[in-house]
Every structure is written in C-alpha cells, then in structure tokens.
Structure 1
Amino acid sequence: MLARLKELRDLDGKLVLITGASSGLGELVAYEVAKRGARVVLCARNLEKLRQVAEKCKEISQTSAFVVQLDVSDSDAIDQQLNHVLKDIGPVDVLVNSAGFGLFETFQQIDMHVTEKMFRVNVLGLMYVTQKIAQQMIESGRGQIFNIASVAGKIATPKSTVYSATKFAIVGFSNALRLELRPLGVQVTTVNPGPMATNFFKQADPSGRYFDAVKLLSLSPNRVAHQISEAIGYRRREINAPLYMEAIHRGYELFPNFGDLLASSSFFNRK
C-alpha cells in the first residue's frame, strides 16, 4: 500500500480536488500543486473567482483546471457535483478540504444559527465530501486526504468556542479516519495552522483588532500551502505550523490547569 501512496509524489497529470479554492489557503494550494503539473478541480461558491484561479492554474501547469460551483453546507449539492466530477473528469488522487469559516464571539452572544452553519460547513460538509471521495480512492487503491483543521482544534481560547469545537471535531474525525483508511491505501493528513494572513479574518473578526495583535506572529499562507504540496505521497500524520504551537499543545496536555491559565492569558486572548 505504501508503494501506491508513493506514486502520488509525482503529481504530473494527477487530479487534485480542493474545496474552498476561491481564496485563502485553498487557492494557494491550487497554485502549488499546479506548479508540479497536477490537474485541479476547484470547488467553492464564488464561480467568478474560481474561474480566475483556474486560469492562473492553467497558466502555471499548462494542463487542465476544472471549476465546480459548490456549497459544502448543501449535502445534496455535494452528492450531485462530486458524482459529476468522478464520472466526467475522473478519479481524484488527492483531496484538500479547505472550505471553512469562523467567527470570534463569546458563546453567550453568538447567534446559534451561525453556530449551526459553522458546523455544517466546517465539519459536516467536510465529512460529506470526504466520504464520497474516500469511497472512490478505496476503489482506486490509493489516495491522500488533507483536512485543514487549526491550532484552535488543539488549544481552545476565549471567543473561539464554536470555531474551536468545529476544529476539535475535524482533528478527532481525521485521527479515526486515518486508522480506517491506511490499510486500504489512503493516507489522511491533518493540517493545523496558526493565524495566517488570509481573508479568513475579515469574517472571523471584522474589526481587525485580533489580527493586528498577532500580525507579527502570523504565518505565511504560501509557506503552509507549500508544506501541504510537499507532503503529498508521504505518510505524514500532521502538519503543525508554527512548530512552537505544537510544543505548547504538548505542554497543555501534560499540565492542563496551567494550560488553561496560559490560554486565557493576554498572549492568547487577543480577540
């Protein structure tokens, strides 16, 4: 099975499906895999922006790029559109689940309709897409799935109750799925980035105060996208960036009471 996974290290002509591909990390991953000759299937709601990303991918890769308008909160649309991909475009070699959003608000104030939408997009949508593509990958005998979680899925902080809950769910789901799919030739890799300079914060924190506070500590999304591309074809369990956040998480698990104090300190509680 490992030999089949290694085949994905050469992305030339391979098919990579990316959700949330119209902007942010998903868009940048599309460019990274296009540099390596991959064909891409770009999925998101914003069709105009997807077409722009697809044109750039084609310029980079000199091969095909496909656009699929998809709302991952709609399970029927997922089923219909992915059936179209598998039938008319071909089997998917690599899946990158990048669609998602957040809102930094205290739990007592957050609109529960937003809570439900966040779970539908971040968790249930990811699961629906993953199940559909994983079934095909199992038939093919190889594949790799990247689930974009977050450092917030390992270290919860104030004003991220719902967002952290969705990302904790992704981490737990991915850990179990990895064990199920590995014997079948499919690798599951969880990506846990810290704050990145993307448009995510325009929705999560419209005031801009949080990102201004952590701007000097923020990650380059281009670097994270490159790490994802370079992990294709390898048994990489997780990508954690920055690494010091993973060290803090380990300490949090060993000393949870101290971790709670740290997570509520001014260093983390800047939202």
Structure 2
Amino acid sequence: MKRNPRLKDKTVVITGASGGLGEQTAYRCAASGANLVLLARNLEKLEHVASHIRRQFGVGCLPMQLDLACPEEIPDVFHSIIDQTGGIDVLVNNAGYGIFAEAKDVSPADVKGMFAVNVIGLIICTKEVIPSMKRRKSGHIINVSSQAGKLATPKSSVYSATKHAVLGYTNSLRMELARDGVFVTAINPGPMATNFFELADPSGNYVKNLGRYILSTEKVADQMVAAMLTNRREINLPGWMNAGSLLYAWFPKLVERFGKKAFFKK
C-alpha cells in the first residue's frame, strides 16, 4: 500500500467511499496520515469502513450520508464538513454509475440518474470547496472520469456523455484555479473490478470478455493517492487503453471501423 507524506494531517473528502475505488483510496489516504470524510448513500457501509480506518490507522474518519442524486442536500453536507474539520484539502469526486444499453433502450429515469450523479452532483460538490481553497491558495480537486470520456463505444452512449462532460468541466476548472494554487486532476481508468458492472451489465458478459485486462481498484488508488497535492493533469489507466483513446483522437474513422467488433462486446 503506497503512502503519500504530503497528506499527513490533511483533510480528504471522498464521495462514493463505501466500496470499490473510493474505499481503497480512503485506506491509502489514512495510511498516509490523512483525516478522512467519507460520503455515500449507504451509511452502514461507510461506518464499517470508517471504523476499520480508525482502528487500523489511528486517524480521524467521519462517515456522512449523502445521495448525489439529491443536489439540494449537498451544500448543507459540505458546510457541516467544513465546520467540523476547519477546511478541505483534497476532494475526490469518485461517486458515479453507468447503465450499458443501446441508446433506444435507455430509460429517461436512467438518463436523469446518470447525469444527476456523474455530472451535476460532482459539479455541486466541487462548487462547495472552491471558495475556501481559493482563499487558502491551496487544495486539490480530483475528478474520477473514465476512458469512456475519451473514447465512446456502443451501448454506453449516455454514460460516455456524462464522462465527456466531466472531462470538459475538469479541463476548464483546471485553468480557472491554476492562478490560485489549486490543483485539478482527472482520473481516467478503464474497466475496474468493482460492483459497477452489477448494475451496468447484469449479464456479466462485459466482465467475462475483459478477462485479465480488467483493472484492480488497488492499482488505480495507488496512483491516485501518490498524485495527491501535486500538479498532475491526468492519470490514464491502463496504458494500452489510453493509447487507443489517443489513436481515436487522431484517426477516429479508422478506430471506429476496425474496433467495431470489440466495442460491441458489452
């Protein structure tokens, strides 16, 4: 488990921290001496993670319930966090979900839900930490996007649209906050071994087709935590998939033509 000495006694807030990448990131921040605030819908799971962190690492860890699909709740939660901690040094916007379906089959409720959590919730969480980070002339906002934000594929039209939105927002935000000494980083992982696919692809076909190419949350968390409080623009994983995204940016017609069969393996 990698440690980052810059996090000692800092306050790190992580959304979607009840499992998967958020949970693994929390463990590594705690191992580095950071105090944590964990946010998710499932308070019972959060309390279990927080109890483990306090017991193993001896740092402060505050679990708080938050549903990003309810944007009106976000400001009050963040005001409470700032009141209790004195300030947020790192915000990790990790929460998100996807549904894999052809565009004609995606329900309006799923469209609304994915944009509410993946985009609107992320933006409002970020908005709540910007003023204090600007005043302090320090801080780090980390937005977990996806390789789907760079290379859209069939059966992920709405999910890819949300991640394209996250990258657009992140790139603009980075330029806005650079003059204030606040770092902004995009994390763009490919498919990870989490419960994401239980909802995105209940058939299990996509994970089965990926096989050994699927990423571990531990590896992604290691790289994310190592980059905290440094001026890192992006982290793209795995390398071979990011190469495909770059190739697509240069030769989109070629990639769409020859990658069609692989893209439909969802």
Establish whether TM, by shorter chain, passes 0.5: yes
Which residue matches 1:5?
none
User: What's the Cα RMSD here?
Assistant: 1.1
Give the counterpart letter for 2:209 in structure 1.
Answer: A
Superposition TM-score, scaled by structure 1 size: 0.95
Instruction: Determine if contact 2:5/2:32 at 8 Å carries over to the other structure.
Output: no
Amino acid of the residue matched to residue 41 of structure 1?
V
Give, as a single letter, the amino acid of the residue that structure 1 aligns with 2:264.
Answer: N
Structure 1 contact 38–61 (Cα < 8 Å) conserved: no
Match of 1:106 in 2: 102
- Tell me the alpha carbon deviations over residues 173-212 of structure 1, each in whole angstroms, 9 at most, x when there is no partner: 1011000011111110000000111111111111111111
Question: Taking every aligned residue pair, what percent have the same amino acid on both sides?
Answer: 44
Please identify runs of 4+ aligned residues in structure 1 that moved more than 3 A.
none
Residues matched between the structures, number: 263
Cα displacement (A) at 1:136: 1.5
After TM superposition, list the pairs within 5 Å mapping 1:78-227 onto structure 2: 78-227=74-223
Do the aligned partners of 1:156 and 1:263 also contact (CA within 8 Å) in 2? no
The AA in structure 2 aligned to 1:23 is G
Identify which range, 206-215 or 92-101, moves more after superposition. Answer: 206-215
Identify the residue that residue 265 of structure 2 maps to in structure 1.
Answer: 270
Query: Equivalents in 1 of 2:23, 2:258: separation in Å?
Result: 34
Deviations 1:81-128 (A, max 9, x none): 111111122200000000100000011011011101100000000000
Contact kept in structure 2, 1:157 and 1:263, CA below 8 Å: no
Q: Determine the C-alpha separation between the residues in 2 that align with 1:79 and 1:264.
A: 43
Does residue 1:254 correspond to 2:250, yes or no? yes
Maintained 8 Å contact 1:9/1:234: no
Does structure 2 conserve the Cα–Cα contact (< 8 Å) formed by 1:9 and 1:232?
no
CA shift, 1:214, in A, is 0.5
Structure 1 residue identity aligned to 2:261: S
Out of 6, 12, 20, which is 1:16 matched to?
Answer: 12
Ranges in structure 2 where 5+ consecutive residues have no aligned partner: none
Secondary structure class of the residue paired with 1:240: strand
Q: Which amino acid aligns with 2:91?
A: L
Give yes or no for contact 2:146–2:190 (8 Å, CA) kept in 1: yes
Runs of 5+ unmatched residues, structure 1: 1-7
Q: Following the alignment from structure 2 to structure 1, what is the Cα–Cα distance between the partners of residues 27 and 210?
A: 26
Query: How does the TM-score come out when normalised to structure 2?
Result: 0.96
CA distance, structure 1, for counterparts of residue 247 and residue 209 of structure 2: 24
CA drift at 1:236: 0.6
1:58 correspondence with 2:51: no
| Amino acid of the structure 1 residue aligned with 2:92 | V
Residue type of the alignment partner of 1:51:
E
